[in-house]
Chains A and B, each alone.
Chain A
């Protein structure tokens, strides 16, 4: 094979990896900044630098929309990295999610003087960088590097509350399970490399098509190992066991980071590797994804029924949401025409954006509520409507959106995913999606009941929530996003449908 390796200039890198370069520079800038200023200044300023860096990165991502790098997957080449709207939209989700995470952290830092703010902030930025790489890389090696960058920063972030037993337990589990997952992913990749002799996804796909008949068992093995490893990242059943403990142990902003950014990044990588890495053979292997999606929706929702701790409840709920999110991609295997791919990408990203808004909003309120109560049981929400009506109503809207009630993003997202299952004639999976959502009513309404039906045990004036400005901002962003996407979904969907997903 005649592949000439061209010298890469910084201009080329800047052209394709602009947002990544900004995050890298920004992250190091924060690291250095911390060394040169007083501790107090660093605590105050570093998170805001992080938010600024993300905002600049978002600006560059927006600039990149519609621009597709010539080294794209459409052209078979030795591209390691691509720029397309699929990557761009996911990066927007990551950057937005991390921004809200940092905003939520500002409040967290105030109440936890032991936490090292600068470390925490630049680790989040580097984690986001890892997510960026996962969304845009077109090569197994760089994909894995992105995955590890995100994973390792996450392990540290989960463990940051060092004097907290639950946090240690959660991070230990996360580290061990995550390490095994990375090993599985890498092992799977090594099989694929062994068969195809390629780390490039597109060229690998060609080889897989050629070798499918003779090498099928080995290719399947590689695929399943890869899928298992990535399933851990997005918490698909049966690879979800770490989620409740880790969610419970991590600080609230980090939990929301895991359940939004880290999960979205996992999805981006699954889509990138499976859709492009297996090419035409996707149609032969998709039923594993279908099975995972079905299992995840059922088990996630049923396990959530018994939860007493609000963060564990959200962990299982986020497991279930991962199941919904996998549905549009899984059914693609049945008919992955270009149009269907666009439709599925629109479904996934719409749901992810909605999920970002409702999760972040819910976590902002959860933070205030659990701090007030001093514990994380659902009972902490007792009588919230009487104590702080606005926050109770906002939380109710986020929960109803997660449950899939109309005029919220969650409802339209599910509705839209359901349309996709009909399009690919996978009716039972669509039916299951709605049916499991109906089961989910039970636990979401359990929280609603605690907020609205039970009366506060303490005098109302003392039990009122303290909502700092930053948390209120997140709640408002969440509300506008959740209701806006629910009432006018066409605005964003038309944009999504107009994207050049993969060039």
Chain B
């Protein structure tokens, strides 16, 4: 059956591509690029298959594939430890899978500007993509962690070799922050598996079994203290992973120094892994703990929404501005999760996906503009709409979507998340809406300085978008508008899964 091999294919085709690339001669850039393109396009096609035959009403895992990988007979006395190669997707993971497939393919298109050590670049790029796909389809926490770590090493090199002037320091910063976040995630995972073993008997890292075990266990089998501690560790790890205040400083640096295509991947997919873990493990396995800390999470969310928006106001570089803007948007996800109701949780996912698409689009555009003008400093641009009407137009569209213009994805996400949040924390949510206003201010102000006004002499006569560049721009904008005007396209996928979470919280 192809059905249950599909996810394996999606995950490992890029790896196959990387292996093939290892044998491509060093000088042949176009061959390397072609291999990378095929190795990300095929997974996109297969993801399309998955999407087409995905059953939105089924709350269980679909397309599952499971093999026992590591089995140690006696780990604690008579308890055994089983680690499985288990893949599968449900309503929560499929949007992330689609996002990964789309952004990773468009990222290859955006990598055109890489001219230096091309073959190596694509090898690391494809390895990164393997890690990203793997994270979202793993049903085993150990396997998930493995893929998460797999993103770390390629990212280090992608920033460190092909990054900007401070690449070395920033690559290390990235590594240390995310390395520490990984530690927290692993510790929390082992804690989960260990607690679940009280119910299942043996130790398993399978997320479905752990979820069931936690749902079944009464509080004297898995104590509330234990749950709270695991969640606190996990939450701190996610805060670092998602670059939330006060662990945020690595993200603007990363976006500023990473090559544009890698910025797209970071903003579009990599930064969404933390949100995915928050849903999958936080809401899915430890809903009581989320509920217990809900107010704090909401406050944290609002701090991020408002503070990051304020910081974005004073940024001089578009890339840093977008980084802070992305954190501010992801703050909405925290707020939505804290609400723990249908609207809030759904809004959180909408926001995650929307922010992923927007980051992909905006970082692509800024990369394209920087490639032509040599700068991404707002002050260095100005009057850009004259030489580059197309790029400026898409930038405006992206900015409008980002600030929540109705009819685009950002609006739907914010409405849903804030509706959910109002129901749960009216005051905190009201403060949070301040971020929406601020977003309009910093984005429109930056837009105005970038695209309008007199065109400086050195910007004149620069070329506008190339034909190939239309592909990412149009795809991103189309998806952003599609979600904006027809939210069910995303809602139908996640609805049932979210409902099942909400039922569990209520019951």
Q: Which residues of A contact B (CB under 8 A)?
A: 339, 342-343, 385, 400, 405-407, 415, 418-419, 422-423, 430-431, 434-435, 437-438, 441-442, 445, 448-449, 452-453, 488-490, 493-494, 497
B60 close to A (CB within 8 Å):
no
List of B residues within 8 angstroms of A442 by Cβ? 172, 175-176
Q: Is the CB of A452 within 8 A of B183?
A: no
Give the contact stretch, choosing among B156-164, B323-331, B378-386, B420-428: B156-164
Contact A406 B75 (CB under 8 A): no
Q: What is the minimal beta-carbon distance from B120 to any residue of chain A, in angstroms? A: 8
> Which B residue's beta carbon lies closest to that of A439?
B176
**Chain B neighbourhood of A342, CB < 8 A:** 74
- Mark out the residues of chain B between 144 and 186 whose CB falls within 8 Å of any chain A CB in the assembled complex: 145-146, 149-150, 152-153, 156-157, 160-161, 168, 171-172, 175-176, 179-180, 182-183, 186
**Whole-angstrom distance between the alpha carbons of A264 and B194 in the complex?**
30
Q: Contact: A453 with B75, CB < 8 Å?
A: no
Q: Which of B7-15, B65-73, B89-97, B342-350 contacts A (4 or more CB under 8 A)?
A: B65-73
Contact (A423, B76) CB under 8 Å given A441-B176, A453-B160, A489-B70: yes
- Interface SS of chain A: helix
Give the residue of A385, A406, A430, A490 whose beta carbon is less than 8 angstroms from that of B187: A430
C-alpha gap A426/B43 in the complex (Å): 44
Taking the complex as formed, is B396 at the interface, i.e. its CB lies under 8 A from any CB of chain A?
no
State the Cβ distance, B392 to closest chain A Cβ, in Å: 35
Residues A418 and B176 in contact, CB atoms below 8 Å apart: no
- Interface set, chain B 94-124, CB cutoff 8 A to A: 120
Q: A415-B190, A452-B160, A497-B74 are in contact. List 18 more A-B contacts (CB 8 A).
A: A339-B74, A400-B153, A405-B149, A405-B153, A419-B76, A422-B190, A422-B191, A435-B180, A438-B179, A438-B180, A441-B176, A441-B179, A449-B160, A449-B172, A453-B168, A493-B72, A494-B73, A497-B72
| Chain A positions within 8 Å of B73 at CB level | 494, 497
Q: How far is the CB of A4 from chain B (nearest CB, A)?
A: 40
A406 touches B191 (CB 8 A): no
Total residues of chain B contacting the partner, CB 8 A: 34
CA distance A343 to B149 in the complex (A): 27
A406 touches B145 (CB 8 A): yes
Given contacts A343-B75, A431-B187, contact A488 B156 (CB under 8 A): no
Tell me the minimal C-beta distance from B112 to chain A in angstroms: 22
| Residues of chain A with a CB closer than 8 A to B190's CB | 415, 418-419, 422
Please report the C-alpha to C-alpha distance between residue A493 and residue B70 in the assembled complex, in whole angstroms.
10
What are 6 A-to-B residue pairs whose CB atoms are below 8 Å?
A406-B145, A438-B176, A442-B176, A449-B160, A452-B160, A452-B161
Q: A445-B156, A449-B168 are in contact. Are A434 and B70 (CB under 8 A)?
A: no
**Given A430-B187, A441-B175, A441-B176, A488-B160 contact (CB < 8 Å):** no
A435 contacts B183, C-beta separation under 8 Å? yes
B77 within 8 A of A: yes
* Smallest CB-CB A-B distances: 5 pairs: A406-B146, A434-B183, A438-B179, A339-B77, A441-B179
Residues of B within 8 Å of A339, CB to CB, are 74, 76-77
Using CB atoms, name the residue of chain B closest to A414: B186
CA distance A418 to B142 in the complex (A): 14
Asked if B271 is at the interface of the complex by the 8 Å CB criterion, the answer is no
Q: Which of chain B's residues have a CB closer than 8 A to the CB of A400?
A: 153
Q: How far is the CA of A490 from the CA of B145 in the complex (A)?
A: 18
B196 to chain A, nearest CB (A): 13
Q: A449-B168, A452-B157 are in contact. Are A494 and B72 (CB under 8 A)?
A: yes
Residues of chain A within 8 A of B194, CB atoms compared: 419, 422
A442 and B171 alpha carbons, distance in the complex (Å): 10
Residues of B within 8 A of A434 (CB): 183, 186-187
Query: How far, in Å, is B23 (CB) from chain A's closest CB?
Result: 11
What chain A residues lie within 8 Å of B408 (beta carbons)? none
In Å, the complex CA distance between A488 and B75 comes to 15
Shortest Cβ gap from B146 to chain A (Å): 4
Complex Cα spacing A385 to B26, Å: 12
Residues in B whose Cβ lies below 8 Å from that of A493: 72
Q: How far is the CB of A352 from chain B (nearest CB, A)?
A: 17
CA distance A488 to B187 in the complex (A): 22
The yes or no answer to B81 lying at the interface (CB within 8 A) is: yes
What's the nearest-Cβ distance from chain B to residue A378, in Å? 14
Across the interface, name the chain A residue whose C-beta is closest to B124. Answer: A452
Chain B residues, CB < 8 A from A489: 70, 72
From residue B166, how far is it (CB to closest CB) to chain A in Å?
A: 13
Residues of A within 8 A of B81 (CB): 419
Q: Is the CB of B183 within 8 A of A438?
A: yes
Closest chain-A Cβ to B241's Cβ sits at a distance in Å of: 13
Bound-state CA distance A208–B166 (Å) is 61
A490 to B149, CA, bound (A): 21
Q: Which residues of chain B are within 8 angstroms of A494 by Cβ–Cβ distance?
A: 72-73
Q: Which residues of A contact B180 (CB under 8 A)?
A: 435, 438
B residues in contact with A422, CB < 8 Å: 190-191, 194
Of all chain B residues, the one with the shortest Cβ separation from A452 is B157
B258-280 interface bits toward A, Cβ cutoff 8 Å, 1 = contact, 0 = none = 00000000000000000000000
Residues on A with beta carbons closer than 8 Å to the beta carbon of B153: 400, 405
User: Roughly how many angstroms separate A239 CA and B291 CA in the complex, as a whole number?
Assistant: 49
- Centre residue among A405, A438, A448, A488 by max chain B CB count within 10 A: A438
Query: In the complex, what residues of B have CB within 8 A of residue A418's CB?
Result: 186-187, 190
Q: Whose C-beta in chain A lies nearest to the C-beta of B229?
A: A427
Q: What residue of chain A has the Cβ atom nearest to residue B161's Cβ? A: A453
Known: A422-B191, A442-B176, A453-B168. A437 touches B77 (CB 8 A): no
- Beyond A405-B153, A445-B172, whether A438 also contacts B76 by CB under 8 A is no
The chain B residue sitting closest to A405, CB to CB, is B149
Q: Which residues of B contact A497 (CB under 8 A)?
A: 72-74
Docked CA distance A434–B73 (Å): 24
Given A419-B81, A422-B191, A453-B168, A438 and B70 contact (CB-CB distance below 8 Å) = no
C-alpha spacing A414/B75, complex, angstroms: 14
Q: Known interface pairs A406-B149, A434-B187. Does A490 touch B72 (Cβ–Cβ under 8 Å)?
A: yes
Residues of chain A with a CB closer than 8 A to B172's CB = 442, 445, 449
Q: Report the minimum CB–CB distance from A115 to chain B (whole Å).
A: 39
**Contact (Cβ within 8 A) B76 A445:** no
CB pair B182 A488 closer than 8 Å? no
Give A448 to B168 CA distance when docked, in angstroms: 12
- In the bound complex, residues from chain A placing their C-beta under 8 Å from that of B152 are 405
Among residues of A, the one whose C-beta sits closest to the C-beta of B160 is A453
Known: A422-B194, A437-B183, A441-B179. A453 touches B149 (CB 8 A): no
